[in-house]
Amino acid sequence: MRRGVTKIFFLKAIAAADNVPTRSELAASNATDLSGAIADIAGWSLANSPVDTPDLGSTLTTSIPGEDKADASTLTFYEDKTSEEVETLLSKDEEGYVVILRKGDIPQSKSMDVFPVRVAGRAPAYSTGSDPAKFTVTFAISGTPELDAAIPAAA
């Protein structure tokens, strides 16, 4: 991720069946820009589990692509002392979409990843040190992500 460039949004709904938001959906009241509150990010990728395909004609065990699985995905936020906007938005069992603009908001760049999600949990990061107050939101990837989608053109 590129600090100061990458944008991460949470959208409650996306109209298109391919889960690619329109420009108006990215700018509308149902899109929340989380970028400025994020302290850390983990996961947000897919891994394939190949299936072995041994045969009697060779000592080499070949393989074919198997099932795809999403890594455990989290966003860690700085806790705001007065506002609970993020905690309310990302409460347990909330469903929506995490939209990551990896290269920033560059129209037509194929650098947008869209993950259908359900909030699995939220936990504070307790510390007695001089660390800022944080909490981590864990997401379950609830559908097939749309990776490398084109960022919609500006209006």
Instruction: Give me the tens of pLDDT residue by residue for the chain, a chain 155 residues long.
Output: 788 789 999 999 999 999 999 999 998 777 999 999 999 999 999 899 999 999 999 999 999 999 999 888 999 999 988 889 999 999 999 999 999 999 999 999 999 999 999 999 999 988 888 889 999 999 999 999 999 999 999 86
According to the model, what pLDDT value does residue 117 have?
Answer: 97
pLDDT at 150: 96
CATH 2.30.110 fits 7-48+64-149, yes or no: yes
Q: Where are the domains of the chain?
A: 7-48+64-149
Per residue, the 3-state secondary structure of the chain, as one string, reads: CCCCCCEEEEECCCCCCCCCCCHHHHHCCCEEECHHHEEEEECCCEEEEEEEECCCCCCCCEEEEEEEEECCEEEEEECCCCCCHHHHHCCCCCEEEEEEECCCCCCCCCCEEEEEEEEEEEEEECCCCCCCCEEEEEEEECCCCEEEECCCCCC
